[in-house]
Chains A and B, each alone.
Chain A
Amino acid sequence: MLKCRTVWRKLAPLARASSTLCRQNVRRTGLHNARLPAHVPGAHMATGPGGGGRENQLYVLLVGATCLGGAIYAYRTVKGDQQRYDERIAEIASRPHRRTQQATTSVQIETPAAETVETESVPESEPQATPSSEEPSPVVPDAETADSSEAPEPIQAEGLTTEQPSPALPPHAPYLLIGGGTASFAAARSIRARDPGARVLIVTDEPDLPYMRPPLSKELWFSDDPAVTETLRFKQWNGKERSIYFQPPSFYITPEELSTAENGGVAVLTSKKVVHMDVRGNKVKLDDDTEISYDKCLIATGGIPRNLQVIDRAGDEVKQKTTLFRKIDDFRTLDKVSRNIKSITVIGGGFLGSELACALGRRSQDSGLEVIQMFPEKGNMGKVLPEYLSNWTTEKVKTEGVKVIPEALVKSVTCKDDQLEIKLKDGRLIKTDHVVAAVGLEPNVDLAKSAGLEVDSDFGGYRVNAELQARSNIWVAGDAACFYDIRLGRRRVEHHDHAVVSGRLAGENMTGANKPYWHQSMFWSDLGPDVGYEAIGIVDSSLPTVGVFAKATAKDTPKAATEESGTGIRSESETEDVASSPVASSIPAPAETHKDDYGKGVIFYLRDKVVVGIILWNVFNRMPIARKIIKDGEEHGDLNEVAKLFNIHED
């Protein structure tokens, strides 16, 4: 409004000036004597009395001509636009099979309501109708798009879609799960269990069906089968063999069958990436321009491994000798590479780094491979375990055949003589053939922008509420979800069991359960066959801890635990209902010096005197008690009493 007024104010003197000029010209053509403008009254009306009719007539003529000219121009433009539009439609209709690269994908024009009316008139069966003319599929990108976006006729893209030759991918999926990992699969299963006949579509950019990640850095490396990289099967301690894939291909139906299958099913669309999400229109767009609309959507996009900046900038030669470990392909690559080289370095001292270092270290016993692990902390799992335990763990990792270099900050990595030279900040130089970078995960929030979803600045990932919901009809689960944990506060968790728990919960909520995140997920890690632990809650080494230990006997190893409970993967044992009852140890714990021997025990992590995290150190099958303590959220005066609940001396 103000703008209009200021413009008007600016124009007014101009208008006055021009009209004055007009009058002056008229007068100068000799209708008056040589009286100069000084005599002209300022507020003289052009059509006032006197001054003769002729200059008035001329003035009217002038104005009239201008108006007419303007009208003709406007008419012509509109007509021209209409013509252009008609031409374009004809052209498009004549080439329905060509899909050109769109240049206007980035154009996001909000459609005025008027245009949507036209779109809605198009039959519902074409949910790929786009209200706005920025529809990027086979539209000739040229200068005209700018014009046409203002024209009131939206491009009728609906006509195109029926003629597209792509295999009949479902245009609509009642349940759309973006991402094909653990969380997504857990959600799919949950949805199918609760909504009979549900039709679930999983879209993943990987070429593989949903699989579990933990064995990629653990069990698969211990397999004796030379074909393990193909079969991806591994034998567990108890002899049972299984595949890392959650289900074989026969479990799923094909995407083409999704709409028609009698009892619904789960379909997986592989090697397709969702690049754009239209929350208003409840649909997504894939990287091949297909659009799929949904009723309920889950975003379970996980993340991509972070890389060290120095390696990122180091050039291709270095990057070729670097592995970022996350997917099946990475496992295959690393397996192959590690068989053919003399020295390998793992950068990173967390879960993944330590597990890979131990796995490679074990392999090195046979092959003579030099395995080095370096990280900035003082010891392995330095950010998770309290210092004394981290140091103890580091010694154990060394016995697995790993050369551990703690307090190592990488300054540069260069390629020399077909070897990598890693220079550390303190001047040390390490020569190696290959590098594995395990320095964290960057949650994938690519869709946040197009979907208008909030990204958390503290933890990364999509910000969701306690029920894992981002917006109506959109949920997020797994590594990418920054959610509100009623007990422990807002957090983002990157563990397998959390992916399962949150995926299941999201699936339940997508089918109307409205439950918050309540069942606390756990995680586990093994550092070789003799040291393993399970943990739950917030396990951060910066928190004050209280550790209660007993001496470990031969019975307290991860190997023994799985053999006893008859399961192969740790989190499974929880659902076994304790298949085999624990046998009381008949061997009394020898009374020895406890000085530095943290054989088995329980470590409590405290925040304001409340236990927020627990590690069960070489003590297994007691997770339910730990979960209960965290759930209660009570202040316990004497944690030794709480530790008694775990019976750490028993098996």
Chain B
Amino acid sequence: MSYCRQEGKDRIIFVTKEDHEAPSNAELIAEDPHDPYEEQGLILPDGAINWNCPCLGGMASGPCGAQFKEAFSCFHYSKEEVKGSECIDHFRNMQECMQRYPELYPQEEDKESSNQPEANSASDSTEGTASSSQTDSVPLSSPTDSQTTS
């Protein structure tokens, strides 16, 4: 049973697991997916790429940002059977650029072969460090809820 106590202006409630088993009847306002104020995920409602998505880490803003944007845009809009097959040149450019900054883009063979940009989990902007940037094979469907870090 829950147990309640009041200390001045502060109320304290202790609840057991059973107390919280029944679903909540608190009402939350429905989300508007097209709310322009909200933080957007990787893909904007109109289909464009949100380069400012925290999930991209610093990929779009670093020294190889231009090459990355070209490559990923090409891939994103590609309608080929094998998605992105016509974008090989762009990806090659990107790779060449990244090789010039090994500190920022750690060179690991299996990662480079992946055509997907890194869904950089260490998105608190520290790709430059040793092991924090790991390419997840997690699809890039971005979290729809808010991302706090850039």
Using a CB–CB cutoff of 8 Å, the interface residues on chain A facing chain B are: 185-186, 188-194, 196-197, 212, 233, 240-243, 245-248, 250-251, 253, 263, 265-266, 386-388, 497, 500-501, 503-504, 507-508, 515-516, 518-519, 521-522, 543-550, 566-569, 571-572, 574-579, 588-589, 591, 594, 623-624, 627-629, 632, 634, 636, 638, 640-645, 647-649
A504 touches B63 (CB 8 A): no
A189 touches B148 (CB 8 A): no
Most chain B beta-carbon contacts within 10 A, residue among A247, A566, A567: A247
Contact of B129 among A242, A546, A547 (CB under 8 A): A242
Nearest residue (CB) in B for A576 is B121
Question: Which residues 55-87 in B have Cβ within 8 Å of A in the complex?
Answer: 55-56, 58, 60-63, 65-66, 69
Question: Which residues 12-52 in B have Cβ within 8 Å of A in the complex?
Answer: 12-17, 19-20, 22-29, 31, 36-39, 51-52
Most chain A beta-carbon contacts within 10 A, residue among B7, B20, B39, B58: B20
B103 within 8 A of A: yes
B11 touches A240 (CB 8 A): no
* A-B CB pair tally, cutoff 8 Å: 218
B142 within 8 A of A: yes
User: Measured between C-beta atoms, what is the minimum distance from B128 to chain A in Å?
Assistant: 4
B14 touches A594 (CB 8 A): yes
Summarize B's interface: helix, strand, loop or mixed.
loop
User: Measured between C-beta atoms, what is the minimum distance from A597 to chain B in Å?
Assistant: 9
User: Measured between C-beta atoms, what is the minimum distance from A277 to chain B in Å?
Assistant: 26
Contact of B66 among A263, A507, A566, A645 (CB under 8 A): A263
**A545 to B13 Cα, complex, angstroms:** 11
A387 touches B8 (CB 8 A): yes
Known contacts A500-B149, A508-B52; is A579 also within 8 Å of B121 by CB? Answer: yes
**A628 to B16 Cα, complex, angstroms:** 25
User: Measured between C-beta atoms, what is the minimum distance from A356 to chain B in Å?
Assistant: 22
B121 touches A243 (CB 8 A): no
B20 touches A648 (CB 8 A): yes
User: Measured between C-beta atoms, what is the minimum distance from B9 to chain A in Å?
Assistant: 4
Q: Which residues of A contact B128 (CB under 8 A)?
A: 243, 245, 247-248, 250-251
Nearest residue (CB) in A for B64 is A263
User: Measured between C-beta atoms, what is the minimum distance from A605 to chain B in Å?
Assistant: 10
Using a CB–CB cutoff of 8 Å, the interface residues on chain B facing chain A are: 2-3, 7-17, 19-20, 22-29, 31, 36-39, 51-52, 54-56, 58, 60-63, 65-66, 69, 101, 103-104, 121-132, 138, 142-143, 145-150
B122 touches A240 (CB 8 A): yes
- Give the 10 A-B CB pairs with smallest separation, nearest first: A192-B61, A644-B24, A594-B14, A577-B143, A248-B128, A518-B37, A193-B51, A624-B145, A544-B9, A242-B129
User: Measured between C-beta atoms, what is the minimum distance from A367 to chain B in Å?
Assistant: 29
A250 touches B63 (CB 8 A): yes
User: Measured between C-beta atoms, what is the minimum distance from A497 to chain B in Å?
Assistant: 5
**A255 to B66 Cα, complex, angstroms:** 20
Q: Which residues of B contact A543 (CB under 8 A)?
A: 9
**A574 to B127 Cα, complex, angstroms:** 17
B15 touches A549 (CB 8 A): yes
A185 touches B125 (CB 8 A): yes
Known contacts A547-B12, A574-B146; is A640 also within 8 Å of B131 by CB? Answer: no
**A3 to B125 Cα, complex, angstroms:** 65
B149 touches A574 (CB 8 A): yes
A497 touches B149 (CB 8 A): yes
A515 touches B10 (CB 8 A): no
**A543 to B11 Cα, complex, angstroms:** 11
**A571 to B116 Cα, complex, angstroms:** 25
A544 touches B63 (CB 8 A): no
User: Other CB < 8 Å A-B pairs besides A251-B101, A503-B150, A519-B38, 17 of them?
Assistant: A189-B150, A192-B60, A240-B122, A247-B125, A386-B10, A500-B148, A508-B52, A515-B37, A518-B37, A547-B13, A574-B145, A575-B55, A575-B147, A579-B121, A591-B16, A627-B145, A644-B20
Q: Which residues of A contact B126 (CB under 8 A)?
A: 242-243, 245-247
User: Measured between C-beta atoms, what is the minimum distance from B82 to chain A in Å?
Assistant: 27
A515 touches B36 (CB 8 A): yes
Q: Which residues of A contact B39 (CB under 8 A)?
A: 519
Nearest residue (CB) in A for B12 is A547
User: Measured between C-beta atoms, what is the minimum distance from B36 to chain A in Å?
Assistant: 7
Known contacts A240-B131, A550-B17, A645-B26; is A194 also within 8 Å of B52 by CB? Answer: yes
